[in-house]
Amino acid sequence: MRHNIAVLLSGNGSNLRAIIDKGLEVSFVASNNPKALGLKIAKNANIPSYSWKNVSILEKEVLKLIIDYDVKLLALAGYMRLLSKNFVNSLPSKFIVNIHPSLLPKYKGMNAIKQAIEDSAEYTGVTIHHVDVEMDSGYIIKQERIKINENDTAKSLKDRLQKIEHRLYFETIKFILNKKKKD
């Protein structure tokens, strides 16, 4: 069964891998980084993959691909660029989802995990939200909290957060797709 989701990423693609491994079919993957490991993951899974360094070209092409592949949901999985207003407003509301390694609205942007440690926060977590025109903003769909241990480093905390991400992103995307089917 095709799930008609597309993924935008800039880096490692561990969330993409988790989504694929758990059985969601991805229509295409696109990146602003031609060297992103996530593109290799897509290729190995026989998923069409594209990259454009120029993000305004990327956005134009992705909008066309969304129509060509009849995509129903666009998932950002470590896409480290802010989407333009024009791009976001060209798509139906709640069409784009993002995953972020903090309890938003805390620690937006890059280095969210480092920010939490430097802040000596007691808790941090994972947020999945719909994307609007602001950075790491938009309606929060799901959050999961974890305690930061005294001996946590950015690396150990990232490892624990990513374990959560890999389960939670799949579950949440599945939930959204099922809900869309019923609407």
129 labelled catalytic: no
Closest residue to ligand GAR, Cβ-based? 78
Which candidate in 100, 129, 130, 166 is catalytic? 100
Closer residue to ligand GAR (CB): 35 or 68: 35
Closer residue to ligand GAR (CB): 66 or 169: 169
Closest by Cα among 80, 95, 77, 97 to 162: 77
- Min dist. Cβ of residue 58 to ligand GAR (A): 16
- Min dist. Cβ of residue 149 to ligand GAR (A): 18
Closer residue to ligand GAR (CB): 66 or 125: 125
3-state secondary structure 110-173: CCHHHHHHHCCCCEEEEEEEECCCCCCCCCEEEEEEEECCCCCCHHHHHHHHHHHHHHHHHHHH
Per the CB < 8 A criterion, the answer to whether 49 and 70 are in contact is no
* DSSP bridge pairs for 31: 9, 51
- Min dist. Cβ of residue 116 to ligand GAR (A): 12
- Min dist. Cβ of residue 61 to ligand GAR (A): 21
* Amino acid identity for residue 46 in this structure: N
By the criterion CB under 6 A, which residues form the site for ligand GAR?
9, 11-15, 38, 77-78, 99-101, 112, 136, 162, 165
Which DSSP symbol is given to 136? T
Closer residue to ligand GAR (CB): 27 or 98: 98
- Active site residue ranges: 100
